Amino acid sequence: MTADEIREAAYGLTIPDGDVVNTKIDRLVAKAISRLPGGRSQIEARIAAGTLDEELTRGVIEDMVIRVLRNPRALRSTSIDDYSETIDSAVSAGELYLSDREAQLLAVSTRPFIGSVRIGIPSWRVPGA
């Protein structure tokens, strides 16, 4: 994943261009990949085996990096004269992390699906009915 791909995915966010910024984005992408469950090697193996969707994984990595880029100084609120703004708590931390929802998206169950079906008792079998 490249810095240009992150820029393209960052809806409404203007990310400066240049080698220094691109290097920082590349580092964030590498860190994001390393923080995925199992790290790079397991993620690549799961994608190759077809148990993990590559586009879904790319989207999760993009979201992780964009959270940091939306608020690189980790501001929780800003105010200028009469104007004040509170930044969304998911973005205000300014940290690179895998959210619970993203972890669920990347999770793969190794157990086969086992379910149950509720079956009602016919009225003629209910005592006193």
Per-residue pLDDT tens for 45-103?
Answer: 888 988 888 899 999 999 888 888 876 656 566 667 777 666 555 554 556 888 888 88
**Closest by CA position to 102, among listed 40, 31, 35, 49:** 35
User: Domain segments of the chain: what residues?
Assistant: 3-108
**Residues in a beta bridge with 84:** 79
| Tens digits of residue pLDDT in 98-111 | 888 888 888 854 44
| Tens digits of residue pLDDT in 9-20 | 888 788 888 899
Give dist(CA 87, CA 78) in Å, integer: 8
Compute and round to an integer the Cα radius of gyration of the chain: 23
How many C-alpha atoms does 126 have within 13 Å on its Cβ side? 6
**Closest by CA position to 108, among listed 37, 31, 34:** 37
Any idea what the Cα angle at residue 25 is, between residues 21 and 27, rounded to 5°? 115
